[in-house]
Structure 1
Amino acid sequence: MSDFGEMLKSLRKERKVSQRKLAELVGIDFTYISKIESGTMDPPAEDKILKIAEVLDVDSDTLILAAKKIPSDFQKVISENEELPAFLRKAQNISPEQWKAIHRIVDGNVEGE
């Protein structure tokens, strides 16, 4: 079973939503939900993942990343910023402390300001 399939099954059961009901609300066949959860089918396209997140009331980025997909708005940022791909390659080696510092900078909580 894939990470996405496991997560989907767990969230769906936690929220007491049947495969049929989820499929109906998302606009896909319920057998597809079953196949995703069992890991025999790949996760759906981003638009369907967004609808699943809405129906199950969960963060869409969490589901998109569990599906091993890159959110389309991230793709735009990456393709429009020439320096970002190089940064992402280097980011593989960033320590947890460095990530915390980056978060502080991005959130505007830089010490000394």
Structure 2
Amino acid sequence: MPDFAAYIRQLRQKQRLSLREVSQNTGISYSYLTQIEHGRRNPPGPEFMKRLAPIYQVSVGDLLRAAGHLEESSESILSDEQEVEMAFKYVMNDPRYQSGTRMAGELNTEVKRFIVEMYEKATGKKLLPGRSA
């Protein structure tokens, strides 16, 4: 558990985010995040990891493995479509990035992937696994 606490704190600091910013972007309470980072709470389960992964720019599988919820050899628990959807939600919620994110109508997975890839290029952030920004 202390290793996970250090890992999750390091991921947050690498993104230059405060705990309050992470709380606001994920809907996870500030106090709960603080307890996790200080090793006073067990690592959260998959639903929380799904919210943290795009913020910290790692895969859900990476977080789950670090927390001890998955074996090292386990494959990603999210489908490609789910990964794109999570990354797209992150882009849509980034107030600093507005270009190409305000489209009307239903967007398919490929359009969402394109928007995420443009975001990755514009910001240098890696949101989709297996791709470089």
Shorter-chain TM-score category?
Answer: 0.5 to 0.7
Q: How many corresponding residue pairs?
A: 74
Counterpart mapping for 1:12-51 below 5 A? 12-51=12-51
Once the two structures are superposed, residues 28-74 of structure 1 have per-residue CA deviations (whole angstroms, 9 ceiling, x without a partner) of: 1111111101100111121111210111111221111111113794x
- Cα distance between partner residues in 1 of 2:56 and 2:5: 14
Counterpart mapping for 1:1-113 below 5 A? 2-70=2-70, 73=77
What TM-score does the superposition give when structure 1 sets the normalisation length?
0.58
- Cα distance between partner residues in 1 of 2:44 and 2:15: 20
- Cα distance between partner residues in 1 of 2:48 and 2:57: 14
Rg larger for: 1
What TM-score does the superposition give when structure 2 sets the normalisation length?
0.50
- Cα distance between partner residues in 1 of 2:35 and 2:12: 14
Q: Which runs of 4+ in 1 moved over 2 A?
A: 70-73
Gaps of 5+ in 1: 74-113
Alignment RMSD: 2.1
More helix by share: 1
